[in-house]
């Protein structure tokens, strides 16, 4: 049973070197709201980007009901099948002003045109516009994350920027898990304490729990356990980075090391996803974006059996000779079908990681629905068919319930090209921005609550 006193939403667990925000607890709700059940969790906005598009035909659901309900997803999206009631899949979504690996990436969230000479993305991105409003209530206005790029274009500015503070000023992206974690939970002015934040604040958390009801106690336990899980992953990555080629640990280090990115790509990506979820869960931020690679990723996925060549080379699945400018000069393929399958397997691997993230969000109970229910998450790419570099029929998926403002579980099949800017405008309005226009869109996205 919950106590009859109120806890401030800004309560932190503090210790030397640590400041841990708390998830939304029953004790943080006004007593009147507890009685009426009227208080709802804050809405979050998330943007997860992947490069290089998809093979034509692999995004469409395999079976859709007459009312647009998703009955069975594409075989390449089978990992998302358990979440088909939590998602909307778009058809004929497009970005009329931005296209390609560079311009398309840079303008995915701005709805503008990219001017390379002026380094101008056409406007501030939707996530940063939202952050200006919601950031007044959170420790961090937004979390802007990315997987460290691999390949020739890793230093290309437009290919590494989906978030823009201003038309000519991209947001700084964090690609090291330790840095992101420290920004959320460390107190820099106290100096570094070589101990996990969970251990540092444990005694205070234990004391606080004595004053709370059992449901809030359980929430704090689950939250701290999630924090500890991320710490353990980073500790393992740090130990691996300190090993010599012979497998022996390097000599004693006096100062705190700068741990390398986890060598296992799945562990790396899932750790970054965990950090975004923790940012939302803790209330540290309400807006987050994550780039699963830069906009023309040349990453090798040879850790997957039977996949060879870079991601970008595979996206040009109709070129099998291995001798085009997009290839590495090493690999070739026996047929279009073989190369297309490898390409789709790489995209499917990323769908599996999204399923991991959605699963995490769905298990976090916020009293009024799960964290996923209280989020609008956009997942997709700035290219349609990867081989043709098409800006039409972009792979777009919307996940979450938007705080009861979305009706997921459906296929949004627009009859003609429909700008992604309409979705951005709809998100802005739901997140509290008083605006009637974004980029070229002067109306919010239709179909989010009903059939199109």
Residue with tokens 């992953």: 233
Which residue did the predictor score with more confidence, 11 or 165? 165
pLDDT at 209 over 60: yes
Tell me the DSSP string of 373-423: TTEEEEEE-S-SBTTTT--SS--EEEES-TTTT---SEEEEEEEEEETHHH
pLDDT at 423 over 80: yes
Percent of the chain with pLDDT over 70: 85
Arithmetic mean of pLDDT over the chain: 86
Q: Return the DSSP state at 285.
A: -
Tell me the DSSP string of 199-268: HHHHHHHHHHHTTS-HHHHHHHHHHHHHHHHHHHHHHHHHHHHTB-TTSPBPPP-SSPP-PPPPSSHHHH
Which residue did the predictor score with more confidence, 290 or 255? 290
State which of 98-102, 132-136, 212-216 shows the largest mean pLDDT: 132-136
Lowest-confidence pick of 12-16, 266-270, 348-352, 375-379: 12-16
Distance (Å, rounded) from C-alpha 297 to C-alpha 153?
Answer: 7
The backbone torsions φ and ψ at residue 249, rounded to the nearest 5 degrees and listed phi first, read: -70, 140
Give the model's pLDDT for residue 236: 58
Which residue did the predictor score with more confidence, 88 or 17? 88
Lowest-confidence pick of 280-289, 397-406, 438-447: 280-289
Distance (Å, rounded) from C-alpha 397 to C-alpha 92?
Answer: 12
pLDDT at 261 over 90: no
Task: Write the CATH number of the domain with boundaries 47-175+261-430.
Answer: 3.40.720
* Average pLDDT, integer, range 16-24: 70
Give the model's pLDDT for residue 52: 96
* Average pLDDT, integer, range 316-338: 95
Lowest-confidence pick of 94-108, 247-261, 303-317, 362-376: 247-261
All structural domains of the chain with their residue ranges: 47-175+261-430
Give the model's pLDDT for residue 5: 55
Rg over alpha carbons for the chain, rounded to the nearest Å, is 22
Give the model's pLDDT for residue 182: 81
Percent of the chain with pLDDT over 90: 62
Strand pairing class (143-146; 164-166): unpaired
State which of 203-207, 276-280, 342-346 shows the largest mean pLDDT: 342-346
Strand pairing class (287-291; 44-49): parallel
CA atoms within 13 A on the CB side of 324: 16
Q: Return the DSSP state at 168.
A: T
Q: To which H or E segment does residue 104 belong?
A: helix 103-106
The backbone torsions φ and ψ at residue 158, rounded to the nearest 5 degrees and listed phi first, read: -60, -30
3-state SS class at 363:
helix
Give the model's pLDDT for residue 37: 55
* Average pLDDT, integer, range 383-401: 94
């Amino acid at each position: 049973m919950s106590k009859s006193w109120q806890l401030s939403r800004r309560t932190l667990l503090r210790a030397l070197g640590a400041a841990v925000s708390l998830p939304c607890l029953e004790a943080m709700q006004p007593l009147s709201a507890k009685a009426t059940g009227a208080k709802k969790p804050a809405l979050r906005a998330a943007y997860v980007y992947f490069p290089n598009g998809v093979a034509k035909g692999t995004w469409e659901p395999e079976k859709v009901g007459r009312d647009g309900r998703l009955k069975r997803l594409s075989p390449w999206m089978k990992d998302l099948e358990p979440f088909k009631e939590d998602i909307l899949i778009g058809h004929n979504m497009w970005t009329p002003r931005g296209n390609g690996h560079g311009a398309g990436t840079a303008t995915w969230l701005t709805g503008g045109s990219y001017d390379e000479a002026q380094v101008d993305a056409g406007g501030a991105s939707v996530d940063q516009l939202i952050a200006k409003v919601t950031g007044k209530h959170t420790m961090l206005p937004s979390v802007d994350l990315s997987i460290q790029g691999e390949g020739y274009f890793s230093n290309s500015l437009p290919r590494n920027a989906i978030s823009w503070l201003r038309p000519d000023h991209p947001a700084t992206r964090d690609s090291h898990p330790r840095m992101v974690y420290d920004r959320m939970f460390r107190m820099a002015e106290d100096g570094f304490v070589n101990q996990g934040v969970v251990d540092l604040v444990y005694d205070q958390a234990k004391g606080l729990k004595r004053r709370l009801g059992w449901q809030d106690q359980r929430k704090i336990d689950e939250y701290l356990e999630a924090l500890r899980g991320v710490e353990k992953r980073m500790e393992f990555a740090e130990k691996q980075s300190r090993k010599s080629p012979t497998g022996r640990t390097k000599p004693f280090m006096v100062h705190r090391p700068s741990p390398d990115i986890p060598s296992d790509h799945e562990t790396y990506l899932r750790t970054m996803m965990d950090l975004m979820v923790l940012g939302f869960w803790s209330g540290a931020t309400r807006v987050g974006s994550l780039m699963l690679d830069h906009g023309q990723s040349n990453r090798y996925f040879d850790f997957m059996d039977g996949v060879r060549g870079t991601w970008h080379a595979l996206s040009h699945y109709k070129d099998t000779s291995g001798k085009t400018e997009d290839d590495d000069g090493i690999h070739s393929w026996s047929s279009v079908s073989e190369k297309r399958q490898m390409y789709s397997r790489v995209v499917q691997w990323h769908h599996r990681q999204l399923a991991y993230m959605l699963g995490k969000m769905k298990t976090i109970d916020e009293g009024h629905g799960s964290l996923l229910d209280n989020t609008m998450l956009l997942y997709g790419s700035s290219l349609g068919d990867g081989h043709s570099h098409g800006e039409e029929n972009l792979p777009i998926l919307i996940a979450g319930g938007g705080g009861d403002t979305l009706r997921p579980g459906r296929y949004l099949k627009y009859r003609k090209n429909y700008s992604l800017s309409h979705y951005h405008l709809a998100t802005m309005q739901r997140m509290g921005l008083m605006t009637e226009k974004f980029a070229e869109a002067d109306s919010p996205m239709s179909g989010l609550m009903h059939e199109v």
